Structure 1
Amino acid sequence: MRNSDDAFRQLYTANFTAILNFALRRVDTAEDAADLVAETFLVAWRRRDEMPHDAQARLWLFGVARLLLANHSRGEQRRGQLGERLRREFRDDPTLNDPAADLVEVLAVDAALGALAPTDREVLELTVWDQLTPREIGVLLGLPARVVRSRLFRARAHLREQITPAAARDGRASPGHVPDDRIRSHPGLSSTEGKA
């Protein structure tokens, strides 16, 4: 029993922050995120004999958190909350030269994220927010890595297509171009294209 307790403690310590970040980015409040993390590790404790005890344990935890999140079924409300957080961050960030201009871009990004197909948006979120590779996402979602890469490519292309007109209209970019540095620095769009 002692070994089991120690192994679970190590699993918890190694993965708590990743699961908390997963939850915080997808639910409305910190309380909801804390509940999701607690439920995830409660399931892990109860099913610790079934859980993989290697590198797959992390993905197993993400899978549990994802299923618990699906039970909340508040996708539209979460997207609206994310948009509001992005607007506040950009509005309150003193390092921005022109917060009003950046707010236009944030609203364009928020609208573009909302227009993505749920499957494409999920792949993008898992890549950007949770730093999972296409192979890991494939394991989590039960898809071949090539399908994940295809969805990720499609999601990024759609975002660029949707965001470019707004960037071009306010004179900060030429038509047909979204600066990659702006996409990478956006809280919801950091690029991880170099990951395998």
Structure 2
Amino acid sequence: MTESEREAFTRCWQQNVDRLHAYAVRHVGRDDAPEIVSEAFLQAWRRWSDVPDPALPWLIGTARRLAANQRRGHRRRDALTDRVALVEGAAATAEAAEVVATQRQAAVGALAALAPADREALLLLAWDGLSVEQAATVLGIRAGTLRVRLHRARARLAAAHDTQTRTDGYPETKTGTDSDTDTEEIPCPSS
């Protein structure tokens, strides 16, 4: 590796390490995230001539594959509670202190209720700041396909969020008729 390539790699590290770490935290948790980040940058170092500019989509794609390999290796469960814990851990570092805890919990629950492919598509844009084209590259699909997936995922997220925010405990009631006025009058027995 030449000196100019080393300098370019150093700039790439400085520009992308925090965003790649945030991605890894969301997918493997805080304890395993540094390993994913290190391995992704090691692969970038080894294959520097193959890394495009900007490097972030390539790095996230590499981290995504590394995380999948790690999950298979550890045989982690894909239970809803585990996914919620990971998403909450990432959300705890987000710059949204003004968000009320109950609203955040409903949003996290709605996000966790999505299928993994829907959640991944939304988070690549929302949390990782990728464009549709960059996220499509990470996922290995066409941008048009991702746009359709995003449209459907947003609709499912809205429906899941509506379900999560119904916390009043009362069943939905039909409007237009009052059950008290529709009863028959029962005659009293004469004495």
Question: Is the pair's TM-score, using the shorter chain for normalization, greater than 0.5?
Answer: yes
Identify the residue that residue 50 of structure 2 maps to in structure 1.
50
Identify the residue that residue 113 of structure 2 maps to in structure 1.
115
Identify the residue that residue 162 of structure 1 maps to in structure 2.
160
Amino acid at match of 2:111: L
Amino acid at match of 2:17: F
Unmatched 5+ residue regions in structure 2? Answer: 170-191
The answer to whether the Cα contact below 8 Å between 2:60 and 2:138 also exists between their aligned partners in 1 is yes
Amino acid at match of 2:78: E
Return 79-88 or 119-128, whichever deviates more: 79-88
Label 1:169 to 1:132 Cα distance change in 2 as closer, same or farther (>3 A): same
Identity %: 37
Identify the residue that residue 135 of structure 1 maps to in structure 2.
133
Structure 1 stretches of 4+ with a deviation exceeding 3 A read 83-89, 105-111, 168-171
CA distance in 2, matches of 1:133, 1:88: 24
Tell me the number of residue pairs that the alignment of Structure 1 and Structure 2 aligns. Answer: 161
The answer to whether the Cα contact below 8 Å between 2:26 and 2:89 also exists between their aligned partners in 1 is no
1:1-196 correspondence to structure 2 within 5 Å: 1-29=2-30, 31-52=31-52, 54-55=53-54, 57-73=55-71, 74=76, 76=78, 78-82=82-86, 85=89, 102=102, 105-170=103-168
The answer to whether the Cα contact below 8 Å between 1:20 and 1:34 also exists between their aligned partners in 2 is yes
Q: CA deviation at 1:22?
A: 1.0
Name the structure with the higher helix share.
1
The answer to whether the Cα contact below 8 Å between 2:113 and 2:160 also exists between their aligned partners in 1 is no
CA RMSD, 1 decimal? 3.0
The answer to whether the Cα contact below 8 Å between 1:87 and 1:107 also exists between their aligned partners in 2 is no
CA distance in 2, matches of 1:60, 1:86: 21
**With structure 2 as the length reference, what TM-score do the two structures score?**
0.71
Amino acid at match of 1:43: Q
Classify the secondary structure of the residue corresponding to 1:130: coil
Classify the secondary structure of the residue corresponding to 2:29: coil
Q: CA deviation at 1:163?
A: 1.9
CA distance in 2, matches of 1:11, 1:88: 26
Q: CA deviation at 1:96?
A: 6.6
Q: Which has the higher contact order (CA 8 A, sep 6+)?
A: 2
Label 1:42 to 1:162 Cα distance change in 2 as closer, same or farther (>3 A): same
Q: CA deviation at 1:75?
A: 6.4
Larger-Rg structure? 2
The answer to whether the Cα contact below 8 Å between 1:86 and 1:106 also exists between their aligned partners in 2 is no
CA distance in 2, matches of 1:140, 1:170: 41
Amino acid at match of 1:76: D
Q: CA deviation at 1:164?
A: 1.4
CA distance in 2, matches of 1:38, 1:96: 32
Classify the secondary structure of the residue corresponding to 1:26: helix
Amino acid at match of 2:140: G
CA distance in 2, matches of 1:120, 1:46: 32
Amino acid at match of 1:14: Q
